[in-house]
Amino acid sequence: MKIIADENIPCVRQAFASLGEVTLLPGRGMRPQQVRDAELLLVRSVTRVDRDLLEGSRVRFVGSATIGFDHVDRDYLQAQGIGFSTAPGSNATSAAEYVVSALMVLAQRQGFDPAGMTAGIIGCGNVGSRVRRKLEALGMQCLVNDPPLQAQGGHDDFVDLQQVLQADVITVHVPLTRSGPHPTLHLVDAEFLACLKPGAVFINTARGAVVDNAALDSLLGERADISIVLDVWEGEPAINCELLEKVDLGTPHIAGYSLDGKLRGTEMIYRAACEFLGTPVQWSAATELPPGPSLELAAGDDWLDAARAAVLECYDVRADDARLRHLLMLPPEERAACFDRLRKEYPVRREFAELDVRATRMDARLEQLLAGLGFTIRS
């Protein structure tokens, strides 16, 4: 069986070797002639999967190692009888930890304490729900807006966007949708941005086009009090470099790029392919994970400083911000390739649960906070 896979899906060759011959290709440049003879196609969000790519091919299963599916024409796949699977929730923990790292960095830079602040969470699915738990562990009051989830019932603590706009911190975790009752394309537009309260922090780790980047660029030319964290951008990989210069933290669409999350995504589409083919599972992501980092906390450390040390030891968003800003020094024609290269050559990053946190004596409040953020404490 011939299998075509995005070269940036980690361990994809090891995982799928038992199912057939795996050929790796750059995901952004996949062409119809390259996938014509394949039966399995494995992609990420940079590959548009539709009639133009698959018409006349032998593809009978598509796996996307992503939590989103706005890059896939699911109606076309269904009409053609082509199996399809994504990896929902695979990188949700990693994306939530990105938000915590960014907030810790901004708190240190600007001298604020997250405890007692309000956080507006737009979208409370796999990622947003994890963000909520972590921010509540920091002592923040969370205001949740998710109309599709609210319509399903079972919860009574949802608020409208106007209430979210009163929050000190707003973080977005919605899929990119262009139609339906709750489209998210440019959900965050000029009107939304104009309503941000003085000193607000705004974070987007969802999809670039959820935020009108031109409107945001214009706003930041007028208001210096707003703090902006962007991991996703309109027009990727050719991003708005003027906007990058204005944001507080900017990264190359890597919020969910922990090694744990990426391998989880590989395993999820591998298992889905095995089920589709009726083939036994023979590979597990656990065999590919190295030991995590370690941190020794000193007795008597301030609880917020200690928590920040643990977060940044595991993942410091400033390193990714610095790497992305390097492209500002490049000629314009080289910047898009640099953006993609930063994603392809991303360093190993582990999730909070894999940090070996040790302390001889720990304050109960700190221990509770670290556990709420997802750390495992070892005495």
Judge whether 296 counts as a catalytic residue: no
How many CB atoms are closer than 10 A to CB 379? 9
Sheet with strand 141-145: strands edge to edge: 141-145, 118-122, 169-172, 201-204, 227-230, 249-250
Given 130, 132, 173, 207, the catalytic residue: 207
The answer to whether 261 and 98 have CB atoms below 8 angstroms apart is no
- Given a contact cutoff of 8 angstroms between Cβ atoms, the answer to whether 379 and 359 are in contact is yes
List, as one string, the DSSP characters of 73-103.
-HHHHHHHT-EEE--TTTTHHHHHHHHHHHH
One of 236, 267, 351, 367 is an active-site residue; which one?
236
Residue 296: both structure tokens together: 């020794």
Catalytic one of 132, 253, 264, 323: 253
Tell me phi and psi for residue 123, to 5 degrees. Answer: 100, 115
What are the tokens at 170? 């707003």
Short-list 151, 160, 155, CA closest to 129: 155
Residue 253 annotated as catalytic? yes
| Residue 240, H or E segment | none
User: Partners of 119 in the beta sheet?
Assistant: 142, 169
Which one, of 209, 232, 269, lies nearest residue 89 by Cα? 269
C-alpha 133/C-alpha 128 separation (Å) is 9
CA 107 – CA 38 distance, rounded (Å):
50
> Does 155 qualify as catalytic in the annotation?
no
Active site residues: 207, 236, 253
